[in-house]
Structure 1
């Protein structure tokens, strides 16, 4: 078990000791990882993949497909702490090895969850359930639970527990951010008229992989296409005067990056400069304002107000940032909907994008960790409107 896995389990079980329930049923991939230290490759590939983890003060049980049992044991879990479902065959030189015996024990995840609960809880106890992670399975799971087991929705509780990061988590977030920035810098070094968005996206991806990251989204758009937010890179060739927008992220050991930068092919026009200066001022205002106790809604208001005062009005946004960690978007979101006060140790992406169809788009997005005195940037590359010689 790694130090990071141990620290996250300790954080979760400590929070469980103060919670109004006796056990926590994790279901989303991020929450299962937090509870067990196991990340399923299949879970990243197949939408229908299902897992869960039941956490109690006496231990944790992983509920998973039989195909995950071998990798889960390799990751440090004990065979006795697995409840498996489905059919998959591991052969073994040791006939008593756990994975060879777990096939066909349960038809589906609902039955397996029931067994895990029966093993660890008794009537009268209460489970906090990751209802959001179960998606449409929650009614079936609730109906299958043993008699006398109470339940409460603990989805928000789980995200709150994860919100304040450990030092190990912050190190991984910083590494993921550095790989995203390195990819952007390598792409900028290759950018010139005639080069395509796809070619630049390849440079970004190569840098991420070479550094040990797994690319998750590589948005490289140019010219009028730069206004298309999350569009895939195309075969469009760069031209003199184009805006070139990057919004890229990768995963390192389960932790995400999300970094945005903007460049111009050749010297920027006065309008490009004016608009970018306004959105950069909005992001900088967030950095200047942030400290523990400030609400996410206040951070949103500061960003929008500053962009408009700086000369880009109206500036309409649904959010100006989001938490980031083992999910790319974690609460609280920097939006009018979240009055959540920020805490030291929380990690965020602050961003102030602008998209105008028919003209172009631009953005600046950085990763920060909230500290007792304000913030620390986990991104370090040039945040200005970059000029690519043409």
Structure 2
């Protein structure tokens, strides 16, 4: 491996990631993996580019074999761009533009043949917890060259590595969490009657970037009776009025790592019903946090939340039975899933979001989302901005 201008971490961090990946590949008898997604390329090689937004380009493809060899395939016109951001030394340029040039799918297969793994078991991002950044046509072409019988999902080797954060990742997660906490505190305090949801989103973006975030995810912001039920909704131009519950969901990113919290506010005094539902939603989230510890299953956290919510007088308002949260990292939703059927055991170093949700028509949507790091003795709370209902 080599150092590069734009690497997020020292080369040693990428060496450790590759070593852990290869160990998992040996367990699964996987001869090579082929990564095409933004998350996996940045995680295992450091690769960054603005072209991920394109629907017609494949910015890069990373190949790692079971013996630890790495190769990166990219456009021959952009190899200089790739070189300044990756730890990979073996760079191959494809050529889709010159007659007789080798396209990127063919180049990937040539690399697999050269490394004598093309007839072995090849991992692709085809599992339920991954996505390939290839067109359907090129997916079919690549699978056709390798052969269906030789292809397996990379989920079984990627997530055992990525879901446990390293010391350097944890330092970075604390940094972006602190940025997020401060930005939420500033932006929520700036809400005024008549401000639109989009205006509030713009304010969040300004504060996030000013405080040091690299990116801001599309935040879910909604307020008002006609908006309460619309989960994961983009902000609208609708003005925010007095007496309306305001929910903000999401966060900033730093060096590719995400935060994802929910905090709420209201302009004017809440009704007794709004206050009671909000307070209970916070209690329910805390009940779930108290179930988090190394050695517990992800499912046990949801079972505790479900039981607490269903025995309450707000049981009919509980909107997320069976689902309580998710992992975080280089993507907003990562394993482990915190829900029924998830028998995954929680381990120190997992970064989680816990988010039970309540809703009552014409009254409001209620809930906080907390980001925590699983530790040997329980958890460390990283979303430390006040979870009290912000009364403006």
TM-score range, shorter chain: 0.7 to 0.9
Q: 1:270 to 1:206 in 2, by over 3 A?
A: same
The answer to whether 1:49 aligns with 2:53 is no
**Mapping of 1:85-234 within 5 angstroms?**
85-87=95-97, 105-107=101-103, 109-122=104-117, 125-132=120-127, 133-134=131-132, 136=136, 137-145=138-146, 150-210=150-210, 211-224=212-225, 225-234=227-236
Q: CA deviation at 1:17?
A: 4.1
Contact 2:119–2:146 (CA under 8 A) maintained in structure 1: no
CA-based RMSD of the aligned residues comes to: 2.5
CA distance in 1, matches of 2:102, 2:218: 36
TM-score (norm 1): 0.86
Contact 2:72–2:88 (CA under 8 A) maintained in structure 1: no
Q: CA deviation at 1:311?
A: 2.9
Contact 1:300–1:335 (CA under 8 A) maintained in structure 2: yes
The answer to whether 1:37 aligns with 2:41 is no
Contact 1:172–1:252 (CA under 8 A) maintained in structure 2: yes
Q: List gaps (5 residues or longer) in structure 1.
A: 89-102
Contact 1:181–1:381 (CA under 8 A) maintained in structure 2: yes
Deviations 1:267-294 (A, max 9, x none): 2211111111221111101111111221
TM-score (norm 2): 0.86
CA distance in 1, matches of 2:40, 2:126: 11
Q: 1:343 to 1:119 in 2, by over 3 A?
A: same
The answer to whether 1:59 aligns with 2:69 is yes
Contact 2:47–2:82 (CA under 8 A) maintained in structure 1: yes
**Mapping of 1:341-380 within 5 angstroms?**
341-380=345-384
Deviations 1:153-191 (A, max 9, x none): 333332232111112222222233333322221222211
CA distance in 2, matches of 1:245, 1:359: 13
CA distance in 2, matches of 1:207, 1:335: 33
Q: List gaps (5 residues or longer) in structure 2.
A: 4-8
User: Which of 242, 245, 258 is 1:243 aligned to?
Assistant: 245
Residue in structure 2 matched with residue 20 of structure 1 by the alignment: 29
Contact 2:319–2:357 (CA under 8 A) maintained in structure 1: no
Q: CA deviation at 1:126?
A: 2.8
Contact 1:197–1:235 (CA under 8 A) maintained in structure 2: yes
Partner SS state of residue 322, structure 1: strand
Contact 1:281–1:306 (CA under 8 A) maintained in structure 2: no
Residue in structure 2 matched with residue 94 of structure 1 by the alignment: none
Partner SS state of residue 329, structure 2: coil
Q: CA deviation at 1:350?
A: 0.7
Contact 1:85–1:112 (CA under 8 A) maintained in structure 2: no
State the aligned residue count. Answer: 371
Contact 1:349–1:368 (CA under 8 A) maintained in structure 2: yes
The answer to whether 1:72 aligns with 2:82 is yes
Residue in structure 2 matched with residue 98 of structure 1 by the alignment: none
**Mapping of 1:187-336 within 5 angstroms?**
187-210=187-210, 211-224=212-225, 225-314=227-316, 315-317=318-320, 319-336=323-340
Contact 1:228–1:361 (CA under 8 A) maintained in structure 2: no
CA distance in 1, matches of 2:102, 2:252: 35
Contact 2:187–2:207 (CA under 8 A) maintained in structure 1: no
Contact 2:25–2:157 (CA under 8 A) maintained in structure 1: no
Contact 1:323–1:346 (CA under 8 A) maintained in structure 2: yes
Residue in structure 2 matched with residue 81 of structure 1 by the alignment: 91
Residue in structure 1 matched with residue 6 of structure 2 by the alignment: none
Contact 1:9–1:34 (CA under 8 A) maintained in structure 2: no
Q: 1:141 to 1:196 in 2, by over 3 A?
A: same
